[in-house]
Amino acid sequence: MSFVKYVAFIAKEGKRQELLDLILQIRDEVLANEPGTKLFHVVVDPENGEIITWQHYENDQALEDRHNGKTHGLWLEKKGELVGSFVSRKLPFA
């Protein structure tokens, strides 16, 4: 069953652009190399600078593949210095 993973990030002070650049790099690599990821949208809230991602996966295996891929390793390496806080939700399609 396909689903969406919604994540909203608040960057650490002075790190928003660096965080956005990293997320965009990861998005591009995921869409090019992980066929189970159907969509990967990134938007920035103009009011508070929150970075929001909307990732559509075809099934749980696609998310597991994503977590085992090279982009996830890059994310784990960098997130601690860039992310102040985040909220994540996995939402099934109705």
DSSP line for 68-83: HSHHHHHHHHHHHHHE
**Per-position pLDDT tens, the chain of length 94:** 899 999 999 999 999 999 999 999 999 999 999 999 999 999 999 999 999 999 999 999 999 998 998 899 999 999 999 999 999 999 998 7
**Dist CA 67 CA 31 (whole Å):** 14
- The pairing of beta strand 37-44 with beta strand 83-92: unpaired
Tell me how many domains the chain contains.
Answer: 1
Closest by Cα among 89, 9, 6 to 48? 9
Q: Tell me, what's the pLDDT at 86?
A: 97
- Boundaries of domain holding 8: 3-92
pTM over 0.85: yes
Alpha-carbon Rg of the chain, whole angstroms?
A: 13
Pure H helices in 1-94 = 16-33, 60-68, 70-82
Kindly report the CATH number assigned to the domain that includes residue 27: 3.30.70.100
